[in-house]
Structure 1
Amino acid sequence: MHKDEGLRHVVEDWFAAVAHGDARYLDTHMSSDPDLCLVGSDPEEMLHGKAAHDFMKREAMAMKDMCSISIKDCEAYSDGDYGWAFAMPEIELLPDHKTVTPRWSGVFHRENGDWKLVQLHSSFGIANDQMLGEEVSRKLH
């Protein structure tokens, strides 16, 4: 396992493509395998295969010129033809300038020399005491 700067650039460019509505970039770096998996922050965002592929493309096209994205942190690693990455994108939604910072991770597989996303997970951190209640949270620590 080693840090992979090339894969890190793929991830950073992924977010730039989303901000610009460039679904073609996603096609280049998203697997068409039926086992492609998307787990998003919305309870309904657990999609596989073509449904996941189509959703991510529609989302990218819908975001065109509606946000700006900067990456607060991004790390990528690989081992052979498998790679994984973690990012903390800061997304500013326009025109009201609301900012959100989801946690993002992806698993990639090298197909014909290109890194292809095979699994994506995006979520928003919620404190344990808010999610589980203070009593349970205290027992966990």
Structure 2
Amino acid sequence: MSQGIVPSPELIAVVRRWNDAVRLKDRATLVNMLSSSEHLRYQGSAENEEWSGQVFRRGFADHTKEIPDFEWDEHSLEAFECGNAGWAHCTATLTFASNGKSAFHRFTFVLHLEDGVWKVVQAHVSNPTSNMEKIGIEHTALNALIDAARHEFQHDQTEGTASVMFTDIANSSVITRRLGDRRWAEVIADHFALTSQMIEANRGRMIKSLGDGTMSIFASPQNALRAAIEIQSRNAAAASDAPFGLRIGIHTGDVIQRNEDFFGSVVNKAARVTDISGPNEIHVTDVTRLLVGAEDNLVFRPPASVSLKGFGGQQVVYQLDWSEN
């Protein structure tokens, strides 16, 4: 049976060690982390930064010494592996001490297991220039596809792409014992009313309540995330004799509607993402994160690989830092 592609926390750690070694100009670590193969390759931003084999392995550490000292602000890092091969993609802003200027950079890596140790066999670093500046055009085909996915589902459809959001009150059984059933029923009723209001204000629809949680659906991931932020913010600011923490999870994909309810693996995955969230946290899947563009000005923490019940391998999720939005 062929091995599948899975997210790799191990390779994330390897790449971070490489990035630190570049920043610290750690020659021994850099040489050790590079493959000894003559097929080793490197592509940099400058015109002549194309090196290969042992020339690159021996000389890259000297190349890093020529780079002015810089501060490193990582924006994203994800890595995957399949058998003996792995790859990673990273984005970061580098701020140089020599002139105080900051520049956005992208990095990609290909890695290979050599004698049980991950080694870099290909590295690419770029300081991107826009297509409009380079060739006078902007590529729009992929963006158009993503925009279509963002807005495909309408509430009168029975099938389509939508964002599913679950909310759940953390440690509710403990609170119930403290307050008693009657008072807790009042708290839940008020909470559901407020949650429904926030969902509808963001063009969503509450599908059902589930004990002390809710399930809702949105035509776009942006609306789902805005609703989640408002729900967490209003809950945190509420004055109550029964404060509680909320867990929220969101996933986007194809859903099927039957008899005013929704079904499919998207619904199940959104529920599992909620399960791994802590009190006062919002987690979203990598698909939802992809469909929310940078123009939406949402703050996410670095991706994490987690196990979700019923879903094989490691799954990539992002925590939305709602207090910063």
TM norm structure 2: 0.40
Q: Does the CA contact (< 8 Å) of 1:14 and 1:26 recur in 2?
A: yes
- Write the letter of the residue equivalent to 2:53: G
C-alpha distance in 2 between matches for 1:2 and 1:115: 16
1:108 aligns with 2:111: yes
- Write the letter of the residue equivalent to 1:76: A
1:128 aligns with 2:136: no
Q: Does the CA contact (< 8 Å) of 2:93 and 2:104 recur in 1?
A: yes
Q: Does the CA contact (< 8 Å) of 1:67 and 1:94 recur in 2?
A: yes
Counterpart of 2:59?
55
1:94 aligns with 2:100: no
C-alpha distance in 1 between matches for 2:60 and 2:72: 16
Q: Does the CA contact (< 8 Å) of 2:70 and 2:96 recur in 1?
A: yes
C-alpha distance in 2 between matches for 1:27 and 1:54: 7
Question: Identity of aligned pairs, percent?
Answer: 26
Structure 1 unaligned runs (5+)?
A: none
C-alpha distance in 1 between matches for 2:30 and 2:92: 17
C-alpha distance in 1 between matches for 2:129 and 2:93: 16
1:67 aligns with 2:67: no
Aligned partner of residue 78 in structure 2, secondary structure:
strand
- Write the letter of the residue equivalent to 1:66: D
1:38 aligns with 2:42: yes
Aligned partner of residue 47 in structure 1, secondary structure:
strand
Q: Which moved more, 1:48-57 or 1:77-86?
A: 48-57
Aligned partner of residue 103 in structure 1, secondary structure:
strand
Deviations 1:11-64 (A, max 9, x none): 11111111111111112211021110001100101111122213321123344x
Structure 2 unaligned runs (5+)?
A: 141-325
Counterpart of 1:29?
33
TM norm structure 1: 0.88
C-alpha distance in 1 between matches for 2:14 and 2:108: 13
1:8 aligns with 2:12: yes
C-alpha distance in 2 between matches for 1:95 and 1:121: 24
- Write the letter of the residue equivalent to 1:113: G
Q: Does the CA contact (< 8 Å) of 2:42 and 2:123 recur in 1?
A: yes
C-alpha distance in 1 between matches for 2:47 and 2:98: 26
Q: Which structure would you say has the larger Rg?
A: 2
